[in-house]
Amino acid sequence: MTEVSRQELLIHSIAHLLEGCRSVAVGASSPIPGAGALLARHWAASGTPPRRMFLTILGSPRHNAMTGGGVELFDMAAQGRVDAFFLGGGQIDGEANINLVGAGGAYPQTAVRWPGSFGSAYLYFLVPRVILFREEHTRRVMVPRVDFISAPGPRPDGVWRPGGPIGLLTNLCWFSFDKTRRRFTLETVHPGHSLDEVRDHTGFDFDIAPRVPETAAPDAATLAIIRGPIAREIGDAYPRFVAQVFPDAA
């Protein structure tokens, strides 16, 4: 079997996490989540019976029916019309708090500044299946406690919250998240990596499932779909990503 790249493994993992969704939204600068959502939509359309998945990829001329951008996305989320969304952060801690503002020192005098929170906290509270996604899995990202909370993880504060994280996908592994216990659990480790490596590169405590298998890789037929139609579709929003990862499809 042809070797599976890191990006292809993550695209395949995301598609499985989106199974059963009716409506998925993908934010800016998210080529891998976007490709994973396209693969999930392909599976839904080719299933028995076939299903429709409404997919919005912000920044895509082809896969974005919204005319109001973020404003329309927020309105859809408030109406319960978005099943899944993706969030990341410069820092993520063990209670699923994320930091998109900056690190190193007290806000606003942080040593490092990031783009900002935008609507992350709003969507974190409303979208029922939020997938935390960050390719870099190091102790500077996976921290004991974020320096600034852009969007808080679930907590027993009495606030009505239909949304929140289901887990965290990185370049090393997949963690599920228990909203009641407010803890991550290591569920799978990607091929070529190990439990010890995950421990060494994670700054927060986490639980470990009774059995931690390798993350499932796509089979040959799925790889052909990812490298063919999915790569071409995501290329309308991310041509540079496709040129780098899927040069034959560019």
- What is the DSSP code string of 54-93? EEEETT-SSS---SSTHHHHHHHHHTT---EEEE--SEEE
Domain ranges of the chain: 1-87+219-250, 88-116+133-216
pLDDT digits (tens, 9 = 90+) for 88-111: 999 999 999 999 999 998 888 999
- DSSP assignment of 150-184 equals SBPPP-SSS------EEEEE-SSEEEEEETTTTEE
Q: Is the pTM of this model over 0.85?
A: yes
In terms of Cα–Cα distance, which of 208, 228, 209 is closest to 218? 228
Distance from CA of residue 127 to its chain's centroid? 13
Reply yes or no on whether the pLDDT at 59 is more than 90.
no
171 or 59: whose pLDDT is higher?
171
Q: For residues 97 and 149, is the Cβ–Cβ distance under 8 A?
A: yes
Q: Residue 174, Cβ neighbours under 10 Å: how many?
A: 23
Fold of the domain spanning 88-116+133-216 = Glutaconate Coenzyme A-transferase (3.40.1080)
pLDDT digits (tens, 9 = 90+) for 206-216: 999 999 999 99
In terms of Cα–Cα distance, which of 66, 67, 71, 87 is closest to 23? 66
